[in-house]
Amino acid sequence: MTPNIISKGILRAVGILTAIVLLCYFLYQISSVIAYIAIAVVVALIGRPMTLFLRKRLKFPNTLAVVVTMLMMIGVLAGIIALFVPLITEQSRNLSLLNIEELQASLNRLYQEVILYLGASPEEVNQIIKESSLGKNVMEGFDLAFIPNILNSFFGILSSVSLGLFSVLFISFFFLRDSKLFQKGLLVFIPQNKETNTVNSIEKINGLLSRYFIGLLIQILILFTIYVIVLLIVGIENAVVIAFLCALFNIIPYLGPIIGGALMIFLTMTSNLDADFSAVILPKTGYVLIGIIVGQLVDNFFSQPFIFSNSVKSHPLEIFLVIIVAGLLFGVVGMIIAVPGYTAIKVILKEFLSENEMVKRLTKNL
């Protein structure tokens, strides 16, 4: 090799590395736009079955079918937000009248009652409180003044969220109206001899992920229904909002149900701070815990197997391993996108490497 060839190779390598760095920097700078597009794709996949139904069964024009679908989705979103408005309004009004000392005393009394119920004598309780870092007050050193600041931050974030919501809805509308829009944009970067395989992959991924996201919504709705019934029977205030929040955590595989269950138990206990622990708080918490267990049993033995087997066509053990690996590599976000991402990868592998023996075994159900 001549020095001229070596120098050209070095310059080419430097140029490629520079281009990759600049591309990564550019993608980082427009990460919010990429996030909007990704969310819009999910929204379009969820709305796709409804659009197809209106178009094919009810003979709606394409644009009208998309508009009706978007209005229905916006209505659902508005209904969900409306659930939180009374709660936020009430809490905002109450915070100005909040007696911090009374709240601290209530939490401190609950803390002592839990210790007593667990078998400690009153003398031991006093000793535990004196020796603990909490001191005589379980809330000592804990400034609750941050709560109003959180609400102020919430309204500050609301403006940016509104911009993001508008962007997502705008992009979703065009993805639904022109189902080939995303496909056409992607084909620009695909060699001509691979276009047929790419189109087949996109169509199959669209169908599988649409069923997956619809199934996920059904899964959340089932849990939400169970939680609402349990909380209403027990008599917990704001049962609908609490049930929706806890059911929504189920989007995060495996970890989400634990967080949602812990949150529901905590809100159940704090909703009855002034009541007797053994006569009121403990029984209500026990009933809620039973409801959480029932909800998770239904989810684990009915909802999840139905979703995984009929939508993404993967074995539950296969999904479990994929979610664990994605969680270790990318955290909570990895766990959420693990199943859709893995499904897309399987479809692409089957389309482009269908002759490979390992790919055949991995994608035999697709």
Specify if 14 maps to a domain: no
Cβ neighbours of 64 (radius 10 Å): 12
Specify if 43 maps to a domain: no
What are the residues whose beta carbons fall under 8 Å from the beta carbon of 46, sequence distance 6 or more?
73, 210, 213, 214, 217
- Residue 139: its pLDDT value, please? 44
Closest to 173 in 3D by CA, of 263, 59, 63, 315: 63
Cβ neighbours of 32 (radius 10 Å): 12
Look over the chain and give the mean of its residue pLDDT values, rounded to a whole number: 75
Specify if 24 maps to a domain: no
Specify if 215 maps to a domain: yes
- Buried/exposed 95-115: b ≥16 CB within 10 Å, e otherwise: eeeeeeeeebebbbebbbbbb
The answer to whether 198 and 63 have CB atoms below 8 angstroms apart is no
- The parent domain of residue 216 ranges over 197-366
- Alpha helices by DSSP H, listed for 178-188, are 181-187
Question: Counting Cβ atoms within 10 Å, is residue 212 exposed (0-12), middle (13-18) or buried (19+)?
Answer: buried
Q: 253 by DSSP, 3-state: which?
A: coil
| Residue that has been written with the tokens 């609750």 in this structure | 144
Closest to 315 in 3D by CA, of 258, 250, 363, 353: 363
User: 15 phi and psi, to 5 degrees?
Assistant: -60, -45
Residues 140, 167: Cα–Cα separation, whole Å:
45
- Residue 303: its pLDDT value, please? 76
Residues 275, 298: Cα–Cα separation, whole Å:
32
Domain count of the fold of the chain: 1
- Residue 134: its pLDDT value, please? 45
- Residue 62: its pLDDT value, please? 86
Provide the sign of the torsion angle of the four alpha carbons 215, 216, 221, 227, taken in this order.
Answer: positive
Whole-model pTM over 0.85: no
- Residue 352: its pLDDT value, please? 77
Provide the token pair at 355. Answer: 């002759």
Specify if 5 maps to a domain: no
Specify if 186 maps to a domain: no
Closest to 265 in 3D by CA, of 231, 294, 240: 231
Specify if 155 maps to a domain: no
Low-confidence ranges of the chain (pLDDT < 70): 1, 83-112, 114-161, 179, 181-182, 185, 272-275, 277, 309, 365-366
DSSP 250: G
Q: How many CA atoms lie within 13 A of 247 on its CB side?
A: 28
- Residue 241: its pLDDT value, please? 80
Summary count for the chain: helices (H), strands (E): 14, 0
Helix-helix angle 195-234:316-352, to 10 degrees: 160
Closest to 48 in 3D by CA, of 168, 169, 172: 172
Specify if 291 maps to a domain: yes
Q: How many CA atoms lie within 13 A of 23 on its CB side?
A: 6
